Amino acid sequence: MPQELRAVEWTGSGLALIDQTLLPQRTELRSVHDVDALVDAIQRLVVRGAPAIGAAGGYGVALALIEGQRKGWSEAEVRAAVARVREARPTAVNLMVCVDRVMTRFEEGLDAVLEEAAAVQREDVAANRAMGAFGADWLLERVGGDRPLRILTHCNTGALATAGWGTALGVVRELHARGRLEVVYADETRPLLQGSRLTAWELVQEGIPHHVQVDGAAAGTILRGEVDAAIVGADRIAANGDTANKVGTVGVALACADAGIPFLVAAPTTTVDLATKTGDDIHIELRAEEEVLEWAGVRTAPAESRGHNPAFDVTPGRLITGLVTERGVLEISAGELPGDRLKQ
């Protein structure tokens, strides 16, 4: 993927976001210059992926300050606007962490806020590069042998979902760069098809061989022995290793456990929420039921049917072989828990 392509970019007066609702048919930038537009972009998944919305949220503090200056807001009104950004999506902890971090510079003014937001973005790219190397090393040592690997992934975890490079897809890109990747199975990822629209698009940019498959095919592909390992991202990781990720992830983990192959989660340490003790405490966002009752605006289910549309599910830590972070790989199923080691 071209290095100049970024899902989130500060322009000097606002944000330029790649509109991920339009990919892969069109690649367009959406300009964001106020808090309402940023909240809308986050909630409509114009920008999505836990690290990417974290970066956008950090710059959201700057947007609130600029808008407040323009409209004559009080400090309380500016802080209320920042709170709206922070709460735009409830499951992904990165948004809250990054907004809170940038807010530590709030009293110093706009330049300090922008400096901190840029640091958040830089550090995410560096973290992604590091976890790509750690994850590739671990996989090649444990399951590599002498042949290239076959990897399954779910949802989108590449440059589009982060400040750059990618988390789980960053590991895939690292394997490809080393000549140790045979093929990627990309789950289409319901209900908004982030796998078939976004992951496949990123894989095409990299020239990586891949198959897009329906989510219901993933378990069978794994159990037939066509996959060496699965690697996914995360939106929130509890202190005991339970992990929230895009809905459908837990089925992949169960199949990997039955097949006896690694199931890895790749995420920066900002995704670990030690205040959340277990997955039972993770709030699961429910999206509009029309997303599963309709297709392209046309009703596909009976008029009497109701939709159940959770955006995420929670994979128990016991099913997660390893957590890949910028600090290395924790073997969660073997008892190395984030709450014990990551944020000491």
> What is the DSSP track for 256-294?
HHHHT--EEEE--GGGEETT--SGGGSPPPBPPTHHHHE
The predicted model gives 5-11 an average pLDDT of 91
pTM: 0.92
Q: What is the pLDDT of residues 311-327, one digit of tens each?
A: 999 999 999 999 999 99
Catalytic annotation, residues? 235
The predicted model gives 89-108 an average pLDDT of 94
pLDDT score of 165 more than 70: yes
Q: What is the pLDDT of residues 30-85, one digit of tens each?
A: 999 999 999 999 999 999 999 999 999 999 999 999 999 999 999 999 999 999 99
Structural domains in the chain, sorted by start: 8-123 (1.20.120.420), 130-341 (3.40.50.10470)
256 vs 290: CA distance, rounded Å? 31
Residue pair 35/64 in contact by the 8 Å Cβ criterion: yes
pLDDT score of 100 more than 50: yes
Residue pair 188/148 in contact by the 8 Å Cβ criterion: no
pLDDT confidence of residue 226? 98
| Triad 284, 285, 286: Cα angle to 5° | 115
Q: Residue 86 — very low, low, confident or very high, per pLDDT cuts 50/70/90? A: very high
Beta bridge partners of 187: 213
Instruction: Tell me the binding residues for substrate.
Output: 48-50, 89, 194, 245-246
pLDDT confidence of residue 344? 55
Structure tokens at 68: 């407040």
199 vs 156: CA distance, rounded Å? 5
pLDDT score of 1 more than 50: no
Q: What is the pLDDT of residues 299-313, one digit of tens each?
A: 999 999 999 999 999
* Full strand arrangement of the beta sheet holding 15-18: 8-10, 15-18, 29-32
pLDDT confidence of residue 2? 45
DSSP code for 199: I
The predicted model gives 145-173 an average pLDDT of 95
pLDDT confidence of residue 225? 98
Q: State how far Cα 282 lies from the chain centre.
A: 16
Residue pair 167/199 in contact by the 8 Å Cβ criterion: no
Q: Residue 334 — very low, low, confident or very high, per pLDDT cuts 50/70/90? A: confident
